[in-house]
Amino acid sequence: MQVSRRAFLKYCFGSAAVLGFDNSFLGTLDKALAAGGGPNILWLSAAGCSGCTVSLANLASATAPTDVADLLVNTIDLAFHPTLMGAAGDLAVATLRQASSGAYVLAVEGGIPTAFGGRTCTLWTEGGREFTALEAVRALAPGAAAVLAIGTCASYGGIPGGAPNPTGIRSVSAAAGRATINIPGCPAHPDWIVWTVAQLLAGVAPKLDASGRPAKLFGSTVHDRCPRRDHDWALGYGEDGACLRGLGCKGTATRADCPTRLWNSGTNWCVGANALCLGCTDPAFPDRFSPFYGSAGVLPGDHETTTKQCIACHDGTPDD
Amino acid sequence: MATVTIMDPVTRIEGHLKVELTIDRKGAAYQVTNARCTGTLFRGFETILKGRDAWDAPILTARICGVCPVSHSLAAVKALDAATGRKPPANGRLIRNLVLGANYLQSHILHFYLLAALDYAAGPGTAPWAPAWDLDLRPGGEAIVTNLAQAVEARRLAHQMGSIFGGRMPLPHTFVSGGATAVPTAERVAQFRDNLNWLTDFIRSIYIPDVELLARLYPDYLAIGKGSANLLSYGVFDLSDTSTKTLLARGVVAAAAPGNVKAFVADSITESVRSSWYADSTDNLKPSVGATVPQYPKTGAYSWLKAPRYGGLPHETGALARMWVTGDYRRGVSVMDRHLARAREALKVALAMGQWLDQLAEGQPVHNPQAARTDGNGLGLTEAPRGALGHWVQVKSGKIAFYQVVTPTCWNASPRDGKGVPGPMEQALIGTPVADPQRPIEALRVIHSFDPCLSCAVHVMMPGRAPTVVHRPG
């Protein structure tokens, strides 16, 4: 595989601030790419909705790779991805088998169902037999250089794993019996995915938090960086600039950098459009926060809910 | 001797689809003589929703599909609006239209350039586009692939535009029962309009010409993949606060009388389970009283999709159906007609979005909190980019007592019904000429023309099912 080293380095240097790279990482990346080559990426779509793939396609950067086409053509070898790949049927399966015979990173989108022997999600037919997502991750995870769980479903089960979890969804790590790098989000932000892939291409194992997420990306809560922290609470829907705590915002309990990174090329974010933070990067999403338009998962049972401003009781510093 | 070719995975669709094709010799060539379509993922959304707070529905159902989440969210809030007697103000209706419209543009462009066009022209010579079946790639098609990079940018921009009033795309949640949460300001409207102008230009000067080029290079596909040719549209993009008029109209067209659009009656929908792994006691129920009682094994069944029927007949749904019912496209029903109608619909929607931007009133509310009641039954009908979408809800004590979703791909990829009549995609596949039974690119082209979204078609492969025949070349 040929990685376009110059283009990828240009991307990393150009996006360093946004992606949170420091000089020592860039030096390591430079050396690793100079050594040549890189692994195939095999992407499985399990019990999910393809939202993370669609989100990845929203990648944008001022420097190379400028978007997902640039990423796919010039930076990584995405050898298998059922939504995007040219091959179908037997040729797709043969491509997967060939790519997994060498070095590869396994990326999985969607949770892994285990009810009915895993047969509520089959990914391909091979030798006349259907292969379940469960079999696929168990077969492919052990030999992978790394296993990425893309999105909350793959990382923790997500919405298909919501009570009563009718198909027995488990996270990729639980199903495969191997630690994964979890890039949660419903969907995952394209920057979070690309940042993590960049780490791996450089041979760097990112530091993970207790939930298996890159600590660099999921260190602070949404509330920590929210521009509406000291604003009056919204009393209804469609109040620009109001704090959404009273409507059920989960930002105080959710770790993600959405308020500063923003979404869709820095255009907006959920709260920016007066929509609640849903807590979608959380290991217990959705059940911890359901019902969303209420205090589930955020306010202690005895928290005064008629207060219209956080600063009436809190001094406004992080973690207060 | 017939070959049974199993195509699994069908790639470049949303979701998980397996197609079983029986291919027979016909003179010097081959032809598909039988087809069975099966989705291979089941998640059980109706079960997950039951008992939850009603306002969770627009958020959770959006995750039925990451390509058309806005449509599910919209169907859910419309169902809740109907159940509780809420009426969004004009700004709320317009915000809903604009976010949905942005996703339509994203979806149609994604579908043509990243999913369907690569059946006709070789993509960039790297993974994931290579390897691919390289047969019947006619000279001239490569011009479409040269626009791939710009198409990728166009769909990204469509989502960027949508996020102005969606918060983030995909999977926005600025729709709530009673309206929306995003507020129009002059600055946001100007930003949206800027993006829209670029996109409208792209659709006019690149997307539509590319589809027309494809139709010129592959004119035989104007007569391949017809299917049932019964067409169904629930209508989409509410144009008024006081009437049910929509930009793309609601109506039904029978194959036998293609110029005659009949009024749609929701009560005429039933779901057959004859070829589906559900108890026959639940056969031919209307979705409002639908039941899902799995039964496996079951003689003659091969899919976990139920077979939705309108007036007892299979109906195709999607851009072609919408444009036909509205009167904007009536050339024919085929693989190429679906692509042409979809591209023309993208332009129609883009132009209408400009008018909706004009109609937004700064300072006016986007949400109306008044509700007539807490509980009730509601039906939300809309159209996802790939077709008719309905959410049926019963709210009791503010909770979801019942939830049923009938999706466009359930209509299109449905199995045979109680009369043994195949679904629209199955019918479209039967009769398709095939050059090489081991590489049935022609069948892939037929499938892709429907823009299938299998996450939406809720169904399951059951354990213990013996695999059917593969690759016994005759």
Q: Are A87 and B176 inside 8 Å of each other by CB?
A: no
CA distance B404 to B391: 6
- Give the pLDDT confidence score for residue B296 in this predicted structure: 61
Would the pLDDT of B458 be above 70? no
Would the pLDDT of B221 be above 70? yes
- Give the pLDDT confidence score for residue A317 in this predicted structure: 54
Answer whether residue A68 is part of any domain: yes
- Give the pLDDT confidence score for residue A62 in this predicted structure: 80
Answer whether residue B466 is part of any domain: no
Q: Stretch B334-359: mean pLDDT, rounded?
A: 98
CA torsion sign for B353, B359, B363, B369 is negative
Would the pLDDT of A28 be above 60? no
Selected catalytic residue, list A12, A121, A153, A310:
A153
- Give the pLDDT confidence score for residue B299 in this predicted structure: 86
**Contact B130/A at CB under 8 A:** yes
Work out the pLDDT band at A186, boundaries 50, 70, 90.
very high
Q: Which residue has the higher pLDDT, A64 or A144?
A: A144
What CATH number is associated with residue B352?
A: 1.10.645.10
Helix (H, G, I), strand (E, B), or coil: what is residue B203?
helix
Q: Are A87 and B168 inside 8 Å of each other by CB?
A: no
Answer whether residue A212 is part of any domain: no
- Give the ipTM: 0.94
Per-residue model confidence as pLDDT tens digits over B396-429:
999 999 998 999 999 999 999 999 999 999 999 9
Q: Give kind and range of the element (H or E) at residue A114.
A: none
Work out the pLDDT band at B472, boundaries 50, 70, 90.
very low
Q: What is the pTM of this model?
A: 0.92
Answer whether residue B41 is part of any domain: yes
Work out the pLDDT band at A119, boundaries 50, 70, 90.
confident
Q: Which residue has the higher pLDDT, A64 or A100?
A: A100
Nearest to B313 by CA among B242, B209, B414, B176: B414
Q: Stretch B211-239: mean pLDDT, rounded?
A: 98
Cα angle B211, B216, B222 (rounded to 5 degrees) comes to 85
> Quick check: B2 and B15 in contact, CB under 8 A?
no
Selected catalytic residue, list A12, A186, A303, A310:
A186
Q: Are residues A92 and A185 both part of a single domain? A: yes
Among residues A171, A201, A231, which one ends one of the domains? Answer: A201
Per-residue model confidence as pLDDT tens digits over A128-140:
999 999 999 999 9
> Quick check: A9 and A252 in contact, CB under 8 A?
no
Say which range, A279-288, B42-51, B439-448, B458-467, has the weakest mean pLDDT. B458-467
Answer whether residue B24 is part of any domain: yes
> Quick check: A135 and A46 in contact, CB under 8 A?
no
Cα angle B88, B89, B94 (rounded to 5 degrees) comes to 90
Q: Are residues A127 and A240 both part of a single domain? A: no
CA–CA min distance A23, chain B (Å): 30
Per-residue model confidence as pLDDT tens digits over B12-44:
999 889 999 999 998 889 999 999 999 878 898
- Which amino acid, B66? G
Q: Stretch A10-19: mean pLDDT, rounded?
A: 49
Answer whether residue B245 is part of any domain: yes
Answer whether residue A151 is part of any domain: yes
CA distance B196 to B189: 10
Percent of chain A with pLDDT over 70: 81
> Quick check: B366 and B377 in contact, CB under 8 A?
no
Work out the pLDDT band at A309, boundaries 50, 70, 90.
low
Q: Stretch B358-366: mean pLDDT, rounded?
A: 98
* A153 has catalytic annotation: yes
Q: Are residues A37 and A170 both part of a single domain? A: yes
Q: Which residues contact B398 (CB under 8 A, 6 or more apart)?
A: B53, B54, B374, B375
Helix ranges (DSSP H) in A20-164: 23-34, 51-56, 68-70, 89-99, 133-140, 151-156
Say which range, A28-37, B4-13, B425-434, has the weakest mean pLDDT. A28-37
Q: Are residues A83 and A191 both part of a single domain? A: yes
* Number of domains observed in the structure of chain A: 2
CA distance B39 to A122: 9
Answer whether residue B456 is part of any domain: no
Answer whether residue A209 is part of any domain: no
Percent of chain B with pLDDT over 90: 83
Would the pLDDT of A33 be above 50? no
Work out the pLDDT band at B298, boundaries 50, 70, 90.
confident
The whole domain housing A74 covers: 5-201
Among residues A201, A233, A267, which one ends one of the domains? Answer: A201
Helix ranges (DSSP H) in B203-242: 208-217
Q: Are residues A181 and A294 both part of a single domain? A: no
Would the pLDDT of B465 be above 50? no
Answer whether residue A317 is part of any domain: yes
Q: Are A50 and B455 inside 8 Å of each other by CB?
A: yes
**Contact A115/B at CB under 8 A:** no
> Quick check: B291 and B285 in contact, CB under 8 A?
yes
Per-residue model confidence as pLDDT tens digits over A223-252:
999 999 989 999 999 999 999 998 999 999
Answer whether residue B222 is part of any domain: yes
What CATH number is associated with residue A234?
A: 4.10.480.10
Q: Are A130 and B461 inside 8 Å of each other by CB?
A: yes
Q: Are residues A150 and A46 both part of a single domain? A: yes
* Number of domains observed in the structure of chain B: 1
Q: Are A273 and B461 inside 8 Å of each other by CB?
A: no
> Quick check: A222 and A215 in contact, CB under 8 A?
no
What CATH number is associated with residue A36?
A: 3.40.50.700
Would the pLDDT of A2 be above 60? no
> Quick check: B90 and B359 in contact, CB under 8 A?
yes
Question: Which of B171, B196, B277 to substitute to test the interface with A, most A CBs within 10 Å?
Answer: B171
Mode of pairing for the β-strands spanning A104-109 and A40-45: parallel
Would the pLDDT of B359 be above 70? yes
Q: Are residues A134 and A281 both part of a single domain? A: no
Q: Stretch B201-210: mean pLDDT, rounded?
A: 98
Nearest to B64 by CA among B384, B397, B423: B384
Q: Are A130 and B165 inside 8 Å of each other by CB?
A: no
Q: Are residues A40 and A171 both part of a single domain? A: yes
Chain B positions in Cβ-Cβ contact with residue A129 (cut-off 8 Å): 467
* A313 has catalytic annotation: no
B184-219 burial, b for 16+ CB within 10 Å, e for fewer? beeebbebbbebbeebbebbeebbbebbeebbebbe
Transcribe A193-218 into DSSP letters: HHHHHHHHHTT----B-TTSSBTTTS
Q: Are residues A42 and A163 both part of a single domain? A: yes
Q: Which residues contact B326 (CB under 8 A, 6 or more apart)?
A: B233, B248, B249
Q: Stretch A105-120: mean pLDDT, rounded?
A: 93
Q: Report how far apart, in Å, the C-alpha atoms of B64 and of each of A83, B9, B461 are.
A: 16, 20, 18
- Give the pLDDT confidence score for residue A14 in this predicted structure: 47
Would the pLDDT of A7 be above 90? no
Answer whether residue A215 is part of any domain: no
The whole domain housing B164 covers: 3-449
Q: Are residues A63 and A192 both part of a single domain? A: yes
**Contact B374/A at CB under 8 A:** no
Would the pLDDT of A6 be above 70? no
- Give the pLDDT confidence score for residue B430 in this predicted structure: 98
Q: Which residue has the higher pLDDT, B303 or B404?
A: B404
Burial classification of residue B401, based on how many CB atoms lie within 10 Å of its CB (0-12 exposed, 13-18 middle, 19 or more buried): middle
Residue B66: Cβ within 10 Å count: 26
- Give the pLDDT confidence score for residue A295 in this predicted structure: 83
Compute the mean pLDDT over every residue in chain B, rounded to the nearest whole number: 92
Q: Stretch B445-468: mean pLDDT, rounded?
A: 62
B364 → chain A, closest CA residue? A238
* A314 has catalytic annotation: no
Q: In chain A, positions 55-84, which contact chain B (CB-CB < 8 Å)?
A: 55, 57-60, 67-70, 72-73, 77-84
- Give the pLDDT confidence score for residue A298 in this predicted structure: 85
Q: Are residues A107 and A188 both part of a single domain? A: yes
Answer whether residue B430 is part of any domain: yes
Nearest to B383 by CA among B231, B228, B212, B236: B236
> Quick check: B269 and B308 in contact, CB under 8 A?
yes
- Give the pLDDT confidence score for residue A24 in this predicted structure: 54
Would the pLDDT of B210 be above 50? yes
- Which amino acid, A194? V
Helix (H, G, I), strand (E, B), or coil: what is residue A82?
coil
* A223 has catalytic annotation: yes
Q: Are residues A151 and A179 both part of a single domain? A: yes
Q: Which residue has the higher pLDDT, B205 or B299?
A: B205
CA distance B66 to B201: 26
